[in-house]
Structure 1
Amino acid sequence: MEKTFHAPYTVITGASDGIGKAYAFELAKHGMDLVIISRTQRKLEKAAREIGARTGKQVKVIAADFTKDDIYEHIEKNLGGLEVGVLVNNVGMLLCRQPHRFLDIEQLDQKIPDLINCNIKALMKMCRIILPAMVKRKKGLILNVSSGVACSPWPMYSLYAASKVFVQRFSRCLQAEYKANGIIIQAVTPFGISTSMTGYQDPNFITFTAEDFVRTSLQYVTAGDQTYGSVSHQLLGSAIQNIPKSILHSDVLLDSMVEYVNKKISIQKKNECSKTSELAK
């Protein structure tokens, strides 16, 4: 892949765990050296050691909190001199795993700018930093991780869903602007992925492990400006878009979703407590 995009480095945001870390492992297997960026230095260094030991590739780390405004000079300085062929804009945050109506979100005034900085501003700023060199080389790949919730209005996760719509639309606009420069820019819009953000749900036909999803989704990088990353997620997205909004947004269905998610979270917390108790014996 490094030959395909004419530069040896991949830059991945939100790469210390979950989907970002899975992208790091998979792209290292394709021969790319890495720059992984996330908030916690300790977790980054641990991920870098694991990836380096298993793949033999060079892994550079940059600690940066994407909820903040003042990090991009630091990032750009640390990327100086590196030829970046692939950028994966993966960093993102979910305000709360439990579904909430907008006004019921705790500490809403602080969480609004945090989410905008992390889910929206980070994407634009990282493209601003890395895209110019790709344009100059007339080669590059940018993968922007959106979400399946961008395919339809998603009540109870309104801020998160709206931010992922931005990721999708911004990506598709950039692809139209820079496709003639030989650059692929794609929005990746998965549904269920088993990560810490989703409470490590059990994998099934719809819910993938991060590793399986990334491996599958990379097969679609030339398939257009947007991909669901898998056949099952494509089918789910099509099905949801065909459900009448009067049903999808009904109080009965929304209340059922809240009850289902909260029940799943409660079960997961009980399982975590049980595991902790067993370890303490």
Structure 2
Amino acid sequence: MRDRGTDTLRAAYAQGWSLGAFSTYTQEITQAISLAAEDIGCPVILQAGASAFSHAGRAQLAAQALLAADLAGVPVGVHLDHSRSLKEIRACLDAGYTSVMVDGSHLPFADNIALTQSVVAAAAPYGAWVEGELGAIPGDEDRSERTGPGELTDPGLAEEFVARTGVDALAVAVGNVHGTAADPVPLDLELLARLASLVPVPLVLHGASGLPAAELEAAVGLGVAKVNVNTELRTAFLGAVELALPGAQPSSDVAAALDAAREAVREVVRTKLRQLTRTAASPRTPS
């Protein structure tokens, strides 16, 4: 079922667990994400995002994700990730997306606020919720590149940003990176706690692939109610195809290779969802 509105996001925030948000590039990955959520029996977010449109086509990728959500036996949100285009955001809202992320983090603070305000206003008639971003989360969303942490999110600016824009969730930079960190360092959990104390909306952690389980669970306990996973899915998909090729190539069995890839991604998603949906011992009280 398509998960509309902010009820699930707010429930995760209040109860101390997190929505897993998984990026898709193909029909097989889309299927794997929704099937894994049904296996575990928990909500999930399908991120049919801006960076993947150049590969699959926006209309095609969106249609696959929306159909998977509608057919699923658990709530499935369909989310536009890292968009900088109001036109693209409007197109996805028209298609039926349940949430969108506007990425104005590259802009001056005032311009980021203005862009995000326009997206919040555009999303309101659709009942879709909006994620903004403040701070620099380095790395490439689509390719694993060794990188280091970027500019961390300033708590005072984050408080002002949320108050002025009306976003429903805020992506923050606390040492997390897209892809693979050149020299992995622990997340700045003290900064995350400070942000959570000042920002009255759920926080979002991008670049969660490869984080130690204890660190990820600590972040969730501090108010992270949406966690983005991409690299681990791509790694599992390509690794399974590579292993399946010797058996599939003699008979040109494309389906066998893709089936193996889908099952590998499905297992990764199941593992992440188990980590993220463990109910915290002390549920948060939303600000």
Rg comparison, structure with higher value: 1
Higher-helix-fraction structure: 1
Bin of the TM-score, shorter chain as denominator length:
0.3 to 0.5
Structure number with greater CO (CA < 8 Å, separation at least 6) is 2
TM-score by length of 1: 0.35
TM-score by length of 2: 0.34
